[in-house]
Structure 1
Amino acid sequence: MPHLSYGDVKQAADRIAGQVRPVTLAPAGPELWFALEFLQHTGSFKARGAQNFLAAHREAGTLPDTGVTIASGGNAGLACAWAAQRQGVRATVFLPKTAPEVKVAKLRSYGAEVRLTGTEYAEALAACEEFANATGALASHAYDHPLIAAGAGTLLDEITRQLPTLDTVVLSVGGGGLFAGVATAARHHGIRVVAVEPEHCRALNAALAAGHPVDVPVSSVAADSLGARRASANALHAAQQDRVHSVLVPDSAIIEARQSLWDQHRIAAEHAAATALAGLTVHRPLPGERVAVILCGANTDPSDLVGPGAGEVG
């Protein structure tokens, strides 16, 4: 499979134009901006890749009547169901039986058929693959597909249009869909990329060390979104280019960053989004360095966010 190119990202931008919400940039400090991608449809950046994936297949005439299927109860599943609804095709989403009812209800609100199988993601994935083989449904993936990554990369072009003097973009990494797309676009613009992972969800960092994708154990407060066991080949290729830096942060820094987003900005972000901000504890910007931190999602329970001023009216 050829590596992702900037042309792929530009093509994705044309496909999804008018279908996704342009990202909002918010000043967050001296030479620091937050890219508020959690305001995207379905609450995360995943809507971009899902829309590009389905639109490209419709263009190519390869979007079957049986629709699309995916195994994911998280942001990818929500985005796939949303994009399928927009394209007027059926989405069949496989989840473990242990999936929270709130996720099931949200998926159904997008018109998805939800099938609960097994008790672990791997069992849901196997059932999804069996369903795709039996019905001819188009199998989607949470991150490991060039169309998914290219759609995510459109985010960086939107940021640079608003901030053409950007020096550095900071983002969290799970399996590497967002990272591969953003890093590909950033290389075109000459922008430094800081890829941030939890210490114990380090699929990309481990792949860099090994020189090829490897399986890693996952254990982090952000594992629900960043807990991929293996980074994609496209993500590794993007990480091996110049001006890309891989950093690891402990869970304590992620929790502190998430609380800080609430205390200082009243942003209720998920731990995956806070992981990117925690990266600034390792990559400390130089004087005058213009930095954008991508806050990638906010599908979270905010009940544990308490702090100064909470509940006050004034």
Structure 2
Amino acid sequence: MPVQITPESIAGVEHLIRPHIRHTPVLRVDMTDFNLVSRPVDLKLECLQHSGSFKARGAFTNLLTRTVPEAGVVAASGGNHGAAVAYAAMRLGVPASIFVPGVTSPAKAERIRSYGARLVIGGDRYADALAASERFAEESGALTIHAFDQPETLLGQGTLGAEIEADLPGITTLLVAVGGGGLIGGIAAWFRGKVKIVAVEPERAPTLHRALAAGEPVDAPAEGIAADSLAPKRVGKLMFPIAAAFVERSVLVTDDDIRTAQLALWDKVRIVAEPGGAAAFAALLSGRYSPGPDERVAVLVCGANTTAVKFD
């Protein structure tokens, strides 16, 4: 029977993976710190999750709810999903092979290796790495863990929605960065319209933006500063009907907007965010999303795997 992406199934998964993941903190900031009109905004710091991003939730859900063969697991990733699968596999004693594209940042590649996984460069873009990983799965018998178009992945990412609701019961609006859509799909499936979910994407990788306009997942460019985390060829088939029903809109930001947000998060509140992790905040900081006077806004800072901050 197909796995259903519902609040009930997400709650069941949350109980299962809770011993293996962190309950990440919330930081309330005043936007006057960022030279904007005074307004409290809550930052959910999922960048502090194991392996440096929210992806650990989906990784543990896959490994704990599916039968893992002797050959272990295989994943294709721009970096964060691979790091999460490698981390979960290490913690659970499972062999892991991770295929990444050439655009993967050195920080993410090194993190994957540090967890003991086999790292393979599989082409220039995510689609190339995915094809290479699928060939390996067929030859080896390893279990494929998809970065976003997998029911268990969506359920795991949906546990972040449950955590946000518990931490911030009064929010009206949540800004979420989008690549393949596993994160926003899981979160939207949890809230089911109880809060306004706003997608944020790079202008050079508008996967959900184009899908919503077309009424179905379609190919989009896969370029820009966040190409290693927010630039698959298209959003997942599983998440799209959820997004179409429960995501209020998609907002596009430029690479410069994202760089500015990264710098501001570090300069003002000492939060390290990779480009994809800073994208949602970039929408607020740039004014590309302008909240109404009665909105109580939360922003998901979803990843921190970057070498942008160097220590002396």
Normalising by structure 1, report the TM-score.
0.88
Conserved? CA contact 2:280–2:300, under 8 Å:
yes
Q: How many Å separate the matches in 2 of 1:110 and 1:253?
A: 32
> Residues 168-247 of structure 1: matches in 2 within 5 Å?
168-187=173-192, 190-242=194-246, 244-247=248-251
Query: Which blocks of at least 5 consecutive residues in structure 2 are unaligned?
Result: 31-38
Query: Which blocks of at least 5 consecutive residues in structure 1 are unaligned?
Result: 305-309
> Residues 99-118 of structure 1: matches in 2 within 5 Å?
103-118=108-123
Q: How many Å separate the matches in 1 of 2:237 and 2:78?
A: 24
Conserved? CA contact 1:166–1:292, under 8 Å:
yes
Per-residue CA deviations over 1:12-60 (Å, capped at 9, x if unaligned) read 2012011100021111123310000000001000000000011111xxx
Cross-structure match for 1:72: 77
Conserved? CA contact 1:73–1:104, under 8 Å:
no
Give the AA of the match of 1:88: G
Change (3 A) 1:200 1:93: same
Cross-structure match for 1:40: 49
Q: How many Å separate the matches in 2 of 1:23 and 1:105?
A: 23
Q: What secondary structure is seen at the aligned counterpart in 1 of 2:234? A: coil
Give the AA of the match of 1:229: K
Q: How many Å separate the matches in 1 of 2:143 and 2:167?
A: 36
Cross-structure match for 1:54: 63
Cross-structure match for 1:260: 264
> Residues 101-180 of structure 1: matches in 2 within 5 Å?
103-118=108-123, 121-180=126-185
Q: What secondary structure is seen at the aligned counterpart in 1 of 2:20? A: coil
Cross-structure match for 1:307: none
Give the AA of the match of 2:28: P
Conserved? CA contact 1:239–1:245, under 8 Å:
no
Change (3 A) 1:277 1:100: closer
Q: What secondary structure is seen at the aligned counterpart in 2 of 1:240? A: helix
Determine if the alignment matches structure 1 residue 292 to structure 2 residue 293. Answer: no
Q: How many Å separate the matches in 1 of 2:216 and 2:81?
A: 25
Question: CA shift at 1:242, angstroms?
Answer: 4.7
Q: What secondary structure is seen at the aligned counterpart in 1 of 2:292? A: coil
Cross-structure match for 2:68: 63
Per-residue CA deviations over 1:230-272 (Å, capped at 9, x if unaligned) read 0112332122125622111222222221121112111121111
State, as a whole percentage, how many aligned pairs show the same letter.
Answer: 43
Give the AA of the match of 1:205: H
CA RMSD of aligned residues (A): 2.2
Q: How many Å separate the matches in 2 of 1:208 and 1:298?
A: 28
Conserved? CA contact 1:3–1:237, under 8 Å:
no
| Aligned residue-pair number | 301
Q: What secondary structure is seen at the aligned counterpart in 2 of 1:21? A: coil
Give the AA of the match of 1:47: A
Per-residue CA deviations over 1:131-186 (Å, capped at 9, x if unaligned) read 21122110111111111111111112111112211111111000101010011112
Change (3 A) 1:149 1:101: same
Conserved? CA contact 1:273–1:295, under 8 Å:
yes
Conserved? CA contact 2:79–2:105, under 8 Å:
no
Conserved? CA contact 2:108–2:305, under 8 Å:
no
Give the AA of the match of 1:77: G
Normalising by structure 2, report the TM-score.
0.89
Cross-structure match for 1:92: 97
Question: CA shift at 1:87, angstroms?
Answer: 1.8
Change (3 A) 1:91 1:227: same
Conserved? CA contact 1:4–1:234, under 8 Å:
no
Conserved? CA contact 2:201–2:253, under 8 Å:
yes
Q: How many Å separate the matches in 2 of 1:99 and 1:247?
A: 24
Q: What secondary structure is seen at the aligned counterpart in 2 of 1:134? A: helix
Conserved? CA contact 1:204–1:235, under 8 Å:
no
Conserved? CA contact 2:42–2:299, under 8 Å:
yes
Conserved? CA contact 1:248–1:279, under 8 Å:
yes
Conserved? CA contact 1:23–1:155, under 8 Å:
no
